[in-house]
Amino acid sequence: MILVLLGAPGAGKGTQAEALAAATGAAHVATGDLFRAEIAAGSELGRSAASYIDAGRLVPDEVTVGMISARLAQPDAASRVILDGFPRNTAQVAALDAAFAASGRAISAIFLKVDVGILTARLTGRRVCSSCGRSFHVESRPPAVAGVCDACGAALITRRDDAPETVAARLANQLSALDEVVENYRSSGRLQVVEGVGEIAAIQARLATAARAVGFGS
């Protein structure tokens, strides 16, 4: 089964997907993480993706769909997968459906609903580990020691696309496509909505309940 976790930039997809994957043993596949790994490796795909990511725009579908298809073909994605950051427009929804139509693998979506007004503070206050990628927030999820990752002790950094001007571009460029994706899953009877504002642990509990309702439990 594939569980698609939908949400605006900063809605908490990564935070919640990481916890749900740990609780259920599912693979957590995040397109943003895949792009950042390609950029760090200096690959051609990474160089091409970086120009779009730095501008707060979606990377073209032909690049994104090819990359995610290769990732989903890996053995750890053969059973249960949490998709974080994909699909992000109607064409990507269709590509995902087409990829699994023959196998009959179920696809269910959960929309993490967060008021747009609080997304900017979540994104600009985010700090990520330069080594293991774990995400923190200067106010809502601070590390025990400022600037140091709780999990591995490496330095925390600010993602380049969390600069205020890029955050503004991401929100301006990407929210209408998200609306279309949400509507697509709603109209095909595959959508649940989970309130994404509040304590991280409380959202985690709501998300786990919604996931269990579609057979995605521990």
Residues with a known catalytic role: 13, 88, 126, 159, 170
CB of 173 to ligand AP5, least distance (A): 8
Q: Does 64 help bind ligand AP5 (rule: CB under 6 A)?
A: yes
Q: How many residues does the chain have?
A: 218
Nearer to ligand AP5, 90 or 215 (CB): 90
> Strand 81-84 relative to strand 27-30: parallel, antiparallel, unpaired?
parallel
Report residue 211: phi and psi, to 5°.
Answer: -65, -40
Residues whose CB falls within 8 Å of the CB of residue 36, separated by 6 or more in sequence, listed in order: 133
80 binds ligand AP5, rule: CB under 6 A: no
Please tell me whether residue 13 binds ligand AP5 under the rule CB under 6 A. Answer: yes
Closer to ligand AP5 at the Cβ: 7 or 104? 7
Q: Using CA atoms, how far apart are residues 60 and 48, in angstroms rounded to an integer?
A: 10
- Residues 88 to 147: which contact ligand AP5 by CB under 6 A? 88, 92, 122-123, 126, 135-137, 140-141
59 contributes a contact to ligand AP5 by CB under 6 A:
yes
- Binding ligand AP5 (rule: CB under 6 A), the pick from 2, 4, 27, 86 is 86
Q: State CA 31 to chain mean position distance.
A: 7
Please, where are the H alpha helices in 73-214?
90-101, 119-124, 164-187, 200-213
Smallest gap from residue 61 Cβ to ligand AP5 (A): 7
Is residue 59 within 8 A of residue 87, CB to CB? The reply is: no
Comparing CA positions, the residue from 31, 213, 203 lying closest to residue 112 is 203
Choices 51-59, 100-108, 184-192, 210-218 (CB under 6 A): range interacting with ligand AP5: 51-59
The neighbour count for residue 131, using CB atoms within 10 Å, is 14
CB of 17 to ligand AP5, least distance (A): 7
By the rule CB under 6 A, 3 interacts with ligand AP5: no
Provide, rounded to whole angstroms, the least separation between the CB of residue 180 and ligand AP5. 13
Cα dihedral across residues 128, 134, 135, 136: positive or negative: negative
Amino acid letter, residue 70: A
Residue ranges that bind ligand AP5, judged by CB under 6 A: 7, 9-15, 30-32, 35, 52-53, 57-59, 64, 85-86, 88, 92, 122-123, 126, 135-137, 140-141, 161, 170, 198, 200, 203
